[in-house]
Amino acid sequence: MLGTVVAAAAVAVFGVMLIGWARACRRGEFRRSWIVGYRTPLTLRDDRAWAAAHRAAAPFILVAGVGTLVGGVAAAALAAVQTGEVVPLLLGGATVWALPWVVIGGFPAVRASRAAVTEGDRAPE
């Protein structure tokens, strides 16, 4: 039981980390990184593209984080009061929940990064 509670806490912490990432992206405070983020050739070479991409993806990252956090907290609560097959399924579901949302966020991220560079390259009239 203790191991399950620890696993649930780890999933909840992962959700909190995703929420923190989303907040930093939304505010434009998420710095370019070779490890975390939407790393395309364009976003890795242009700060405007990096910021625009992450700002556009922030709502999707937030959904990923909130869902993962809720799943982790629910699994911890259930593990504290009962043992059963539901808790591991909830933990797995909460973890898997994050992946499609982060991937889906990549689509508006790419569009926004391209638009940011295109707008920045236009000469003032």
**Rounded mean pLDDT of 1-27?**
92
| φ and ψ of 118, to 5 deg | -60, -45
Does 123 have pLDDT greater than 60?
no
At 120 the pLDDT is 64
Question: Which of these ranges, 61-70, 77-86, 104-113, has the smallest mean pLDDT?
Answer: 77-86
Mean of per-residue pLDDT scores for the chain = 90
For residue 16, which of 67, 82, 79 has the smallest C-alpha distance? 67
Does 125 have pLDDT greater than 80?
no
